[in-house]
Structure 1
Amino acid sequence: MLIFHAATCHFCADELPHLLAYARANPKVAVWIVAPSDLDAVKKQFADAPNNLRIVEDAADKDAGTKQFNAYRAEGTPTQILVNGKGNITWRGTGFSVQGANPFEAGKLPLE
């Protein structure tokens, strides 16, 4: 799962505890955080994340997050993209709200 996240996005902040709970409850799902900017602030937000949640970064390319954002055609943050083992996108979500647009509720993500 790819999560496009910005440290200053209020919807991302709302999503954060739900995302962390989801990652802890589903340790076999690899969750990658892609930050198009302010990587240091994003690292602080995810400092207590479980081992299956990692932040995409490339020390040789400070624009790696922006390039991924563009490559996956993320329209804003947060954007959630589920990629299967073959590399195919199987689900995409944009935005977050506890009521209605919370993909981390039980049974919402098509993981099979």
Structure 2
Amino acid sequence: MADPVSSILNLGPASEAAFARAGIHSAEEIREMGADAAYLRLMEAGTQPHFIGYYVLVMGLQGRPWNDCQGEEKKALRVKFDRLKAQARASVAASGGADHALDAALAAIGVVPKRP
């Protein structure tokens, strides 16, 4: 049996659910992919990008508490996160999808049909 996503330090049930929506169901899958690819997959699946969520994942995969990320390391991770966000936007646009949050808001007020 594979280790659950929540077995990674700093990750809990909410992270596990978000990864499941992105088609990632085990800690091993995340470890094999690495933090960048796993977080990119989350964003492509519609998870709103959040810098803290990204560095929590990075720290957890290193076996470090989330609040261990500071100073120059945190600045470098911010640069990587911003690149990943841009990559996710480009990927969603290339696939013909709209921004997930915008799409959901427009669907909620009846401007566009809800996606399955």
Bigger RCO (CA 8 Å, 6+ sep): 1
Structure of higher CA gyration radius: 2
Between structures 1 and 2, the one with greater strand share: 1
Larger helix proportion of the pair? 2
- TM interval, short-chain normalised: under 0.3
